[in-house]
Amino acid sequence: MLEYDEKRSYIRMDVDCDITYKLADSDEVQTGRCTSISGAGLSFITESPFNEGAAMEVSVLPKKSVTPPMTAFIKVVRCTEMDVNNYEIAATIKSIKGN
């Protein structure tokens, strides 16, 4: 049996669903693809790069109705260029927005 020592406080789940996002000081909503999520953070793919420390509001929109959508306030911790006009954004969840 393989053993794995998880070093994260929250297990990361791979996902493939739509995400909308906007910078904290903007009303312009953009779309991307959420690729992973955990209790502490998430990552998503977008066409725009963002600076470390950028504050955003995101809405994760699952494909299946058994999982509710989530709106959260995040802080960008990393932006990695994947190829032309594709960036992976990694962020920490600062708070979950209530209904």
What local confidence, expressed as pLDDT, does residue 4 receive?
47
Enter the CATH code of domain 13-96: 2.40.10.220
| 76 in Cβ contact with 89 (< 8 Å) | yes
What local confidence, expressed as pLDDT, does residue 69 receive?
86
Phi-psi region of 53 (alpha: psi -120 to 50; beta: other; left: phi over 0): left
What local confidence, expressed as pLDDT, does residue 79 receive?
97
Question: How far is Cα 18 from Cα 52, in angstroms, rounded to an integer?
Answer: 22
Side-chain half-sphere exposure of 21, counting CA atoms within 13 A:
27
pLDDT < 70: residue spans in the chain: 1-10, 66, 99
Q: Which pTM was predicted? A: 0.83
Per-domain boundaries in the chain: 13-96
